[in-house]
Chain A
Amino acid sequence: MGAEKLLVIVVSAIFINNIILSRFLGICPYIGVSKKLGSAIGMGFAVIFVLTIASSVTYLIYVLFLYPSTNNFWYWITGKMYDLTYLRTITFILVIASLVQLVEMVVQKISPPLYKALGIYLPLITTNCAVLGISVLNIEENYNFIESTIHGFAVGIGFTLVLILMAGLREKLDLMDLPKPFEGPAIAFILAGLMSIAFLGFAGLKF
């Protein structure tokens, strides 16, 4: 059951419920950083990195501090349950933002080459709605810790896949003779719509 469920989570996160093309989260980097293949790959890996860490840490924070259960921090201390789930959004934003900052610092210190590859993209992800969205989704779907982490990772893969596909298409698109009003982001949005329709085909996948 365990491994099977994880597979379902991975496949659905990458293809069926792709973060960009079905959930429409993270559109900003999708249009903004998809101009060149090189930077798309960099951004993609930075997102995988942050999503994986953010989904595990936000899950822990949620279970330990916010969700009323016997595992809750406040239950240990006061013996009472407090439902702090309404603080979810604000805590998650706080956690994600400071986490990304921390990761950036650590990477810069420990691995300069990795920092050079991901560095400029990391701060961009701090406020990426996809990261917050996935953290919230993990809670909504009642995933456990491992499932949350895997889900975050798989969503990152899905994001990277679509971002790279888009960058490849847009590099070709740049050389096309387009009518003036369609140049730049305009045609990119049309392209994004078409890709979204194409990915809709995966909705037919059944397990």
Chain B
Amino acid sequence: MDIMFIIVSVITAGALGFIFGGGLAYAAKVFSVEKNPKIEEVAEVLPNANCGACGYAGCNAYAEAVVEYDENITLCIPGGKEVADKIAQILGKKAGETVAKVAYLKCKGTHALAKDKAIYNGINDCKAAVLVAGGNKVCEYGCLGLGTCEKVCPFDAIHIGEEGLPVVDDEKCTGCGVCVEACPKNVLDLMPKDNKVYLACSSQDKGKTVKDYCKVGCISCTLCVKKCPVGAISMKGNLPVIDFEKCTNCGVCVHICPTKSYIDKIRNRSKFFIDTKCTGCTKCISVCPVKAISGNEGEKHTIDPNKCIGCGLCVPACPEGAIKIMGALGYGQKVE
């Protein structure tokens, strides 16, 4: 064994490493592309889920747009207000409000409730099924339930439930809207996370046709429009539309709907009762949409717990603050 051999090996490996390492370091300087350092800062703040809800190819692209092209900083829906605030801090801008949203399904027509027009045996995907005569449901507006939304959801928040319709997991859903974009039937939409009541039908067909097609379809009776205590519902074509800003989640529409087309996310609403502060002014009686309150003027009123739907409309109507919820306030209802 020649000592020179060892030296030569060490020098060869060492020198190659040194040359390549130094070369890279030098090249990094020569070929460096100047970038605004704020882009990296913003990119670090973003959720990095690359969901595309902002309309850009990914979080990095959005960060670049925000810094370089003065893009709106509130576009990141999954990040919400928190991220917008952080970006604002980096850029020295003011953040506007971002409302947390979740996806919801505007259809209730499971295979048991809505009629099928044919048995579909093709590719297991809504977009493919739509190409074959608009899908296998008689109702042309209904959800096909083949799970395109489930496949595209970047947050694992939407799954086809036992009844064959997609179910949104509100905890996981970030309201990015990828599923809304992907749905070929347009039965998915976004609504504010705080809202708990929505119409689960998107059929624009006439009442009689809907009745033939689906047991839970909206028949445009307009009862909900008339009964809504805050006037949040209006007809748009053959379908009532809730103004989510006005809606107080009272749930009167859910209760009143003859076809049960509405969905109430609050399960088991608490009932209300009247305590001894009641002076018998009858104001609550006139407010109650289901006539659950009874009592003569001047006497203590009572609420029939079997009739009460837990809408909470009577609470602000009572001048004495005598109406209380039975049990704890266990849901996010807006009760003042």
Q: Which residues of A contact B (CB under 8 A)?
A: 61, 65-66, 74, 78, 80, 82, 84, 87, 90-91, 94-95, 98, 101-102, 105-106, 108-109, 174-177
Contacts and interface: CB of A to CB of B under 8 A. Distances in A.
Contacts of B31: 105-106, 108-109
Contact of B24 (A80, A87, A102, A175): A102
A87 B14 CA distance: 11
- Which 7 A/B pairs are nearest by Cβ-Cβ distance? A98-B20, A109-B31, A105-B31, A177-B124, A175-B123, A82-B8, A175-B125
B96 interface: no
A91 B21 CA distance: 13
Nearest to B57: A116
A33 B20 CA distance: 29
Interface residues of B, number: 22
A85 to B, nearest CB: 11
Contacts of A66: 12
A42 to B, nearest CB: 13
B24 to A, nearest CB: 5
B69 interface: no
A142 to B, nearest CB: 22
Contact of A82 (B5, B21, B24, B128): B5
Given A108-B33, A177-B124, A84 B9 contact: yes
A167 B33 CA distance: 33
Secondary structure at the A interface, as helix, strand, loop or mixed, is helix
Contacts of A175: 123-125, 128
A109 B33 CA distance: 6
Contacts of A80: 4
A109 B23 CA distance: 16
Interface in B1-34: 4-5, 8-9, 12-13, 16-17, 20-21, 23-24, 27-28, 31-33
B12 A65 contact: yes
Nearest to B123: A175
B16 A95 contact: yes
A176 B123 contact: yes
A102 B9 contact: no
A78 B3 CA distance: 14
Contact of A102 (B16, B23, B151): B23
B4 A94 contact: no
A74 B12 CA distance: 9
Given A106-B31, A108-B33, A98 B124 contact: no
Contact of B8 (A74, A98, A109): A74
A175 to B, nearest CB: 4
Nearest to A65: B12
A187 B112 CA distance: 33
Nearest to A104: B31
